[in-house]
Amino acid sequence: MTDVELPGAAGPELVVLIGAAGAGKSTWAAARYRMSQVVSLDALREVVADDENDQDATADAVALLLAIVDARLSRRLTTVVDATNGVAAERAELLAIADRHQVPAAAVVFGTALETCLARQRRRPVALPGRRWGRAVPDSVVRNQHQRTQDSLATLTAEGFARVVQV
> Where are the chain's structural domains?
14-152
**pLDDT tens digit sequence for 82-132:** 999 999 999 999 999 999 999 999 999 999 999 999 888 777 555 555 555
pTM confidence score: 0.86
CA-nearest of 26, 160, 46 to 103 is 160
Say how far apart CA 98 and CA 103 lie, in whole Å: 5
Can you name the CATH fold of 14-152?
Rossmann fold (3.40.50)
